[in-house]
Amino acid sequence: MVFTPRVGVYICHCGINIAATVDVAAVAKFAVGLPGVVVARHYTYMCSDPGQVLIKNDIAELNLNRVVVASCSPLMHEPTFRATVADAGLNPYCYEMANIREQCSWVHPGGPNTTLKAMQLVASAVAKATHLEPLEVRQVPVTPAALVIGGGFAGLQASLDIAEAGFQVTLVERSSQLGGHAAQLYRTFPTLESVVDLLNPVICQVKEHPRIAAMTEAEVIEVGGYVGNFKVKVRRGEEVAELLVGAILVATGYEVFDARRKPELGYGVYPQVITTLDFERLAAEGIQVNGRQPKRVVFIQCVGSRDQSLGNPYCSRVCCMVTAKQARLVRQTLPESEVSVFYIDVRAFGKNFEEFYDLTREEGVIYRRGNPSEIIKRGERVVVRAEDTLLGEPVEVEADLVVLAVGMTPRADTGAVAGLLKLARSADGFFLEAHPKLRPVDTAMAGLFLAGCCQGPKDISETISQARAAASAALIPLMRGQVPVEAATSYVDEELCAGCGQCAQMCAFSALALHPLRGVMTVNPVLCQGCGACAAACPSGAINVHHFTFEQFIAQIDALVDGEFLPMPVSISEDVIVKV
Amino acid sequence: MLQIDSRQFVQEHGLLACIQCGKCTGGCPMAIKTRLNPRSLIYRLLISGNGFDLEGREELWDCTTCATCFSRCPKLVNPMEAVIALRGAFVEKGRVHPNVKTALESTFRHGNPLTMPREDRAAWVGDMVVKSIEQGAEYLYYVGCTPSYDPRVQGVTRAIVSLLQGSGLDFGILGAQENCCGSEVRRLGELGLFEMMVEENQETLKSLGVTRMFTTSPHCFNAFKNDYPKNGFQVQHYTQVMAGLLETRSLSFSKPFEKSVTYHDPCYLGKHNGVFDEPRKVLKGIPGLTLVEMDRSREKSLCCEGGGGRMWLEGTNPGTRLAQMRVKEALETGAQVLATACPFCLLTLEEAVKHLNAEGQMRVMDIAEIALQAL
C-alpha cells in the first residue's frame, strides 16, 4: 500500500510573541497549499488545552497521519506535542516542529519578509513531515542501585537521600576520610555553628546505613554502560570491584586556590600570611602567629577569584562571607585586635548574609575598599600595600596576620574525571550542567547527575540543596524501574559499511563497535544519543540517524532552496510580495 | 584644553574590563609620591563620556613603565599602555618637556637619544678586536645607546665582549651602523618616530641576515621581543646567553669573588619578561660569591625610576627617589655589592649610593662586571 501523507499544520500565535510580527493567518493560508497538507489552522496558544484538542480532533476527524506545529523551540514544547499526537493514537515521531518564534518572530522586525521566513520554515517542516517514519520507543530495566563519587558534604547527603528512598548506594571516596573540605572548617556562616556538629552526624548515618557501602581510599577507574545500567570498576588498593548501578551522582568537590600563584602576596614565604582555610584550623586551635596573639589582622578578598590573569574569571561566591565570619571570630576571640578587610565588592547575597555583614561591621571590623597589590616585610610584621579606592590614596597597613580569602578552583583531576564519565566542562573548568536554569543537576549524559562544588563554587547550604536535588533526580529512573530509550538513534546499512571504524572514533558515547563476525559496524541503540557525528564521519554514507535521515534532511532543504511555490527574498525590501 | 576622544580610547584599551580594585595603584611605586593614580585615571576616562581633558595631568610623565600595574591586574587591563598612549596626545601637540624634545630629536637625527654623534657609536671598542656582523656571525650583539656612549656603562659592554669572546661564542656587532631600538621613544609617546625606527632597524637586520641576537639592556631586549612585529629573529638578554653558556660549560669561572651580593631585578627583565632566574644562575655560578635576596625581589622588585623615558625627566616629585629607597633596602641585606643587569638601573642606583654617602659600604655593579672579575 502506498503511503499517502495527510498532514495537519498548526500555527501558534504564542500570544503576541509570534502574531505581532508574523502574519499567522497568511502562514496558515499558505500552508494549506503545501503538498500533503490537509488542514492548517492558527490559534492563540497551541500548547494550551484547547489548542491541543484542535490537533486531536483533526487527527480523529480528518484522519491525519502527520502533524506539524509551527511555534517555539523543540526544547520548549516538542515533548508536549509528541504527547498530544500519541494521545490521539499517532506515533510520537510522526510529529514535526517549525520554530517560528526563536528563529523568526523574536529575531526579526515585523514585515512581509518575516512572514515569508515563517512560511519557509513551515514548508521545510512539512516536507520533512511527509518523510517521517514511526519509531518504536523502547524501555530498558533499571538496576536499583546508585554510585556516588566523592565523600564530601554533597556526596554524603546525596547517598543518605538515595539510601533512605530504599536503594543501594556505593559511595566512593578517594581520600582516607569522609567529610571532604567541610571537615577542615571550624564554624559556619551566617550562624557561627560548629561545622563538626553538622557534619559528624551525617558521616555517622552514612557509615551505619544498611544500604550504603562507603569505600574510602577508593577510586572509580572505569565507567561503561548507560542510564539504568552503568558498569563501573572501582579500585581500592590492589582490588578492583565491579558494580552495576542505575544512576551515577558526581560530587567530586573542588580545590582551594593555591595562593603561591600570587607571589606578590608572599604566601609560603612569610609565616604571617595564611589562607582562609589555614585560618579555620588556627581558629580551632587558638589564633596565634609565631607564638603570639596578633594585634592587627588584615583580610584580603578575591585571592584567585575574579582573576582573568590566572584563568579564574569567576567569583568564588563564598569568600566574602567566609571573611566576614573569620573577621568576627578574630574580634570575638581577641577583643583588643584591630581587624580590617580589603575588598572589591562585598557580595552578601544569601539569606541572612547582609545582616551578618552588618553585624560584622558593628563588631568593629573595618572594611576598606581596594584589593591589595603586594605584601612586603617590615621587621616582625608584614606590610599590606593597597590603594584605599574610596580615599583614592595608596595605603600601607602593618599587620601581624594577613588572611588571604582563597577561592575555589576545579580539581586538578577534573579533566581526567570528565574523560572517564564523558562529562562536559564549562568555561570556568567546572563540570557543566545540562541547563543552567531548567536542568541544574543533570548532565548531557542521561543517568549522570552533579552535586556540590564540582559544578561550581557553593557554600554548605547550597551544596546540600544541590545534593538533595541531584539525589531526587537520580531517584526518578531508580524508582520508575525502567527508562525510555531514545528512538532517534543511528543505524548502519550493512550493505554499504566497510567496517573502517571512523564512526567509532567520532562517537563520544562508545555506541559503535565492529561486529566480530560480519565485519561491519553495529550501533548499541541504548548508548547512542542520536547526535549524528557517526553519520557525518562515515565515508561511504552507510550510517543514517532515525528521524534525521539524509532523505528527510534533503526534503527539508529542497523545500527551502528550490520549492517552486516559494520565492527566496533577494533583498530586504518592501516590495517582496508573497506569492501563494 | 588637550582633549581626547575618551569613548574610543576606553574601547581601544579595553578599560571597560576594569573593576576598580586598585591593585595597580596599590603597587604603583610612583603613586606613593606623586599624583599618578592609574586606577583613578581609568575611572575618570570611564565616566568622562565623549571627551577627556588631559590639561594639567603632568603626573602622566611620572610613570616609569615598570609593569607593576598590569602584572597585578586581575582583569588583564594595561594601565601602563594607557599612560603611554595619553603621553602621545601631548607629543602630537608638541607639548613636551625640552629634555624630551631634545632626546626625540637626537634619536631622529643621530640614532640615539643622547645627542651623541652617530660615527662615535663604536668608540667603546677602543683597542679591543670585535667582529663586525657584516663578516657573518651566529649572533648579533646589539649594544644599545647608553652602553655605547655612556663612559660608565661602556665598561659593562667591554666586559660582556671579553666574557663572550672567552667562551668562544660567535658574535658580531653593527658598529656605527647600529641605530637606537626606539624603546624609550615609544614610551615617551612618540609612536610615529618609533614606527619609523622599527622599519629602519628591521631593514638593517634583514639585509644582514640576522636570526639571533642579544642585548646589553633589558629595555632593548624588551623592545625587540615585544614591540617589534614578530619576524623570525630570536632575541635574548645577555644574561640569558651567559646562563646558557654556563650550562654547556662553554663559560666557567675560576677566580673567586669573595663578596656578598644582592641582585636588583630590572623591571624590563623581570616583571616585563619573566627573566628572574638566568641572572641569578650567572651569579650563583661564580665561586666565592654569596647571593642574598632583598625582601622585594623578583615580581616585587622596586623600580629604580629609570624607565619610561624617566632618564630624561625628573618627574613631579624629584625629592624622594626610588633608587635611594632601593639602595636602602639593599643595604639592609648587608650585601657589599648591589648587582643589576640594566644600564639604567646601574646609573640610577650608583647615583643613589653616592647621594646616601654609602660608597664605603656598597658598590653597584653589573653582573657582567662581576663575572669578568671571576674569569
Spell out the SS3 assignment of A140-186.
EECCCEEEEECCCHHHHHHHHHHHHCCCEEEEECCCCCCCHHHHHCC
* Amino acid letter for position A178: L
Scored b (16 or more CB within 10 A) or e, A250-275 reads: bbbbbbbbebebbbbbbbeebebbbb
Is the CB of A371 less than 8 angstroms away from the CB of B22? yes
Helix (H) or strand (E) holding A216: none
Q: A485 pLDDT band (50/70/90 cuts)?
A: confident
How much is the average pLDDT of B55-77?
Answer: 97
A387 touching B (Cβ < 8 Å): yes
Distance between CA atoms of B19 and A428, rounded to whole angstroms? Answer: 19
How much is the average pLDDT of A254-269?
Answer: 97
How much is the average pLDDT of A223-242?
Answer: 94
| Cα dihedral: B91, B95, B101, B103 (round 10) | -50
C-alpha pair distances (Å), B318 with each of B34, B110, B240, B313, B315: 10, 29, 34, 9, 6
Q: Give me the architecture of the A257-400 domain, per CATH.
A: 3-Layer(bba) Sandwich (3.50)
How much is the average pLDDT of B231-240?
Answer: 92
Q: How many residues does chain A have?
A: 580
Query: Is the pLDDT assigned to residue B310 strictly greater than 70?
Result: yes
All residues of chain B having their beta carbon less than 8 Å from the beta carbon of residue A387 are: 22-26, 31, 37, 39
Is the CB of A377 less than 8 angstroms away from the CB of B295? yes
How much is the average pLDDT of A423-437?
Answer: 95
B27 touching A (Cβ < 8 Å): yes
Residue B232's pLDDT is 79
Same domain, B330 and B264: yes
Cis preceding-peptide flag for B29 (omega within 30 of 0): no
CA distance, residue B333 to nearest chain A CA (Å)? 13
Scored b (16 or more CB within 10 A) or e, A62-97 reads: eebbbbbbbbbebebbbebbbebbeebebbbbbbbb
Query: Is the pLDDT assigned to residue A282 strictly greater than 60?
Result: yes
Domain boundary among B76, B92, B108: B92
> What's the domain count of chain B?
3
Same domain, B85 and B112: no
Closest C-alpha to A291, from A280, A282, A279, A281: A282
| Collapsed DSSP state (helix, strand, coil) of residue B272 | coil
Most confidently modeled range among A114-118, A382-386, A550-554: A382-386
How confident is the model over B78-88, as pLDDT tens digits? 999 999 999 99
Which residues on neighbouring strands pair with residue A394, listed in sequence order?
A: A387
Class (C level, CATH) for A7-135 = alpha beta
Q: What CATH number has the domain bearing residue B78?
A: 1.10.1060.10
Each domain of chain A, given as residue ranges in start order, spans 7-135, 145-254+410-483, 257-400, 486-545
Is the CB of B19 less than 8 angstroms away from the CB of A372? no
B35 touching A (Cβ < 8 Å): no
Residue B86's pLDDT is 97
Distance between CA atoms of A531 and A509, rounded to whole angstroms? Answer: 10
Sequential DSSP letters for A260-303? GGSGGG-TTT-TTEEEHHHHHHHHHH---BTTB--SEEEEEEEE
Are B235 and B202 spatial neighbours (Cβ–Cβ below 8 Å)? no
Residue A562's pLDDT is 67
Query: Is the pLDDT assigned to residue A23 strictly greater than 80?
Result: yes
Helices A550-561 and A112-129 cross at an angle (nearest 10°) of 150
How confident is the model over A106-134, as pLDDT tens digits? 999 988 999 999 999 999 999 999 999 99
CB atoms within 10 A of CB A186: 18
Are A224 and A381 spatial neighbours (Cβ–Cβ below 8 Å)? no
Q: Do domains A145-254+410-483 and A486-545 have the same CATH topology?
A: no
Write down the mean pLDDT value for chain A: 94
Same domain, B123 and B178: yes
Closest C-alpha to B275, from B222, B220, B333: B222
Sequential DSSP letters for A416-460? HHHHHHT--B-TTSSBPPSBTTTBSSB-SSTTEEE-GGGSS---H
How confident is the model over B73-123, as pLDDT tens digits? 999 999 999 999 999 999 999 999 999 999 999 999 999 999 999 999 999
Same domain, B165 and B138: yes
- Please, which residues 55-114 of chain B have a Cβ atom closer than 8 Å to chain A? 68, 72-76
Distance between CA atoms of A393 and A389, rounded to whole angstroms? Answer: 7
Residue A574's pLDDT is 40
Q: What CATH number has the domain bearing residue B197?
A: 3.40.50
Distance between CA atoms of A433 and A444, rounded to whole angstroms? Answer: 7
Same domain, B230 and B257: no
How much is the average pLDDT of A198-227?
Answer: 96
Residue that the C-alpha cell 629604580 belongs to? B304
Residue A578's pLDDT is 38
Q: A569 pLDDT band (50/70/90 cuts)?
A: very low
A261 touching B (Cβ < 8 Å): no
Domain boundary among B68, B92, B116: B92
Q: What percent of chain A has pLDDT over 70?
A: 97
Residue A225's pLDDT is 87
Which residues on neighbouring strands pair with residue A303, listed in sequence order?
A: A406
Are B118 and B145 spatial neighbours (Cβ–Cβ below 8 Å)? no
Query: Is the pLDDT assigned to residue B338 strictly greater than 60?
Result: yes
CA distance, residue B22 to nearest chain A CA (Å)? 5
A383 touching B (Cβ < 8 Å): no
Distance between CA atoms of A559 and A37, rounded to whole angstroms? Answer: 14
For the entire predicted model, the pTM comes to 0.85
How confident is the model over A53-75, as pLDDT tens digits? 999 999 999 999 999 999 999 98
Closest Cα in chain A to B75: A308
Q: What percent of chain A has pLDDT over 90?
A: 90
Same domain, B164 and B213: yes
A166 touching B (Cβ < 8 Å): no
CA distance, residue A261 to nearest chain B CA (Å)? 11
Residue B1's pLDDT is 86
- B258: CB partners within 8 A, 6+ apart: B288, B289
Q: A573 pLDDT band (50/70/90 cuts)?
A: very low
Residue A75's pLDDT is 85
Domain extent for B38? 3-92
CA distance, residue B301 to nearest chain A CA (Å)? 10
Distance between CA atoms of B374 and B288, rounded to whole angstroms? Answer: 9
Q: Which of A392-406, A465-479, A526-540, B332-346 has the lowest mean pLDDT?
A: A526-540
Q: What percent of chain B has pLDDT over 90?
A: 97
Closest C-alpha to B365, from B272, B267, B260: B260
Closest Cα in chain B to A378: B295
How much is the average pLDDT of A408-414?
Answer: 97
Residue A423's pLDDT is 94
Query: Is the pLDDT assigned to residue A579 strictly greater than 70?
Result: no
Domain boundary among B219, B244, B269: B244
How large is the ipTM? 0.93
Are A564 and A110 spatial neighbours (Cβ–Cβ below 8 Å)? no
CA distance, residue B293 to nearest chain A CA (Å)? 13
Distance between CA atoms of A131 and A557, rounded to whole angstroms? Answer: 13
Q: A508 pLDDT band (50/70/90 cuts)?
A: confident
Q: A566 pLDDT band (50/70/90 cuts)?
A: low
Residues A547, A551, A556: CA angle, nearest 5 degrees: 85
Q: Give me the architecture of the A145-254+410-483 domain, per CATH.
A: 3-Layer(bba) Sandwich (3.50)
Query: Is the pLDDT assigned to residue A104 strictly greater than 50?
Result: yes
Copy the grid coordinates of residue A9.
Answer: 499544520
Distance between CA atoms of A373 and A108, rounded to whole angstroms? Answer: 48
All residues of chain B having their beta carbon less than 8 Å from the beta carbon of residue A385 are: 26-27
How much is the average pLDDT of A252-270?
Answer: 97
How confident is the model over A152-203, as pLDDT tens digits? 999 999 999 999 999 999 999 999 999 999 999 999 999 999 999 999 999 9
At the topology level, CATH places domain A486-545 in Alpha-Beta Plaits (3.30.70)
Partner residue opposite A392 with nearest CB, options B37, B72, B75: B37
Residue that the C-alpha cell 562508545 belongs to? A510
Residue A565's pLDDT is 52
Is the CB of A371 less than 8 angstroms away from the CB of B21? yes
Same domain, B190 and B282: no
Same domain, B190 and B310: no
Residue A1's pLDDT is 62
Distance between CA atoms of B104 and A478, rounded to whole angstroms? Answer: 78
Residue B319's pLDDT is 87
A389 touching B (Cβ < 8 Å): yes
Same domain, B86 and B112: no
Which residues on neighbouring strands pair with residue B163, listed in sequence order?
A: none
Is the CB of B300 less than 8 angstroms away from the CB of A376? yes
Closest Cα in chain A to B35: A393
Would you put residue B298 in left (φ > 0), alpha (ψ -120 to 50) or beta?
Answer: left
Closest C-alpha to A316, from A422, A428, A402, A232: A428
A519 touching B (Cβ < 8 Å): no
A48 touching B (Cβ < 8 Å): no
All residues of chain B having their beta carbon less than 8 Å from the beta carbon of residue A300 are: none
C-alpha pair distances (Å), B309 with each of A211, B93, B107, B314: 74, 18, 13, 10
Same domain, B191 and B210: yes
Same domain, B240 and B103: yes
A379 touching B (Cβ < 8 Å): no
Is the CB of B23 less than 8 angstroms away from the CB of A388? no
Q: A572 pLDDT band (50/70/90 cuts)?
A: very low
Same domain, B223 and B299: no
